[in-house]
């Protein structure tokens, strides 16, 4: 009997524990909607002079503020922990809204990241401080922008322009702090995987339906 107990602890219990923890992300089929139909961007253009839209894209949205170069470490964390792993997903974009006048700083960071990253899905767009404040206000977020129109948080916006996050009182989360790599590697990565799983499941379902037709 003792041998059986020892064998159970050594072999069976670790497998059960693995299956329990491995099912964590996949046990969720949808990430809650915190704000429906957020506004699309205005007539704001990117570094390349192009219009950028939220429509039809999963967007990681950030607000860079005037201290873009000073806070470049936050963007580096996001690049390393999330962007480089998933930028090949064609319906994904990373967008930072920056105050007009910070174009040179944004270009420096873009060029620095290009040395080791394909930046084709990372955009910096530019708006006036009042436009940024107005846009941020309509997101109905709890945490405010700082005095230079920035925040270290980034936000997940789905293809239908819905702000997504965690809704439960004990773990309510509307954004993910890029200052802390551990938060990006854990909470954000988990929630981002749920979004991807959701869309991949929908694509698979639609594909199977079309085959039946």
Tell me the pLDDT band of 80, cut-offs 50, 70 and 90: very high
153-190 per-position pLDDT tens digit? 999 999 999 999 999 878 899 999 999 999 999 999 99
Domains of the chain: 31-212 (3.40.30.10)
Q: Which residue has the tokens 């390393």?
A: 80
The DSSP code sequence of 108-175 is: HHHHHHHTTS--TTEEEEEE-HHHHHHHHHTTT-SSPP-TTSEEEEEEEE-TTS-EE-B-SGGG-BS-
Closest CA to 181 of 29, 79, 106: 79
The whole-model pTM stands at 0.83
Contact 134, 40 (CB under 8 A): no
106-121 per-position pLDDT tens digit? 999 999 999 999 999 9
Average of per-residue pLDDT values in the chain: 87
Vertex 51, ends 152 and 99: CA angle to 5°?
40
Residue 169's pLDDT is 77
Widest CA span in the chain: 75
Residue 8's pLDDT is 52
Residue 200's pLDDT is 82
190-208 per-position pLDDT tens digit? 999 999 998 888 777 665 5
On the CB side of 148, how many CA atoms lie within 13 Å of its CA? 12
State how far the alpha carbon of 25 is from the alpha carbons of 33, 80, 155, in Å: 17, 21, 19
Long-range contacts for 103-107 (Cβ within 8 Å, ≥24 apart)? 103/47, 105/68, 105/69, 106/47, 106/64, 106/68, 107/47
25-50 per-position pLDDT tens digit? 434 468 999 999 999 998 999 999 99
């Amino acid at each position: 009997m003792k041998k059986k107990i020892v064998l159970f602890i050594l072999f069976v219990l670790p497998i059960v524990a693995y299956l329990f923890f491995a099912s964590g992300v996949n046990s969720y089929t949808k990430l809650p909607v915190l704000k429906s139909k957020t506004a699309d961007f205005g007539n704001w253009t990117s570094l390349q002079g192009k219009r950028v839209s939220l429509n039809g894209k999963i967007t990681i949205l950030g607000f860079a503020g005037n201290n873009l170069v000073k806070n470049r470490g936050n963007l580096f964390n996001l690049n390393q922990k999330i962007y480089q792993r998933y930028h090949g997903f064609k319906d994904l974009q990373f967008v930072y809204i920056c105050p007009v006048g910070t174009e040179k700083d944004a270009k420096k960071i873009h060029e620095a990241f290009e040395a080791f990253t394909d930046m084709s899905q990372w955009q910096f767009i530019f708006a006036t401080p009042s436009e940024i404040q107005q846009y941020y206000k309509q997101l109905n977020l709890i945490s405010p922008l700082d005095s230079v129109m920035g925040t270290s948080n980034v936000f997940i916006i789905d293809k239908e322009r819905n702000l997504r996050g965690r809704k439960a009182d004990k773990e309510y989360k509307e954004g993910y702090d890029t200052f802390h790599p551990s938060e990006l590697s854990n909470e954000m990565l988990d929630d981002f995987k749920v979004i991807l799983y959701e869309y991949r499941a929908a694509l698979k379902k639609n594909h199977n339906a079309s085959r039946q037709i």
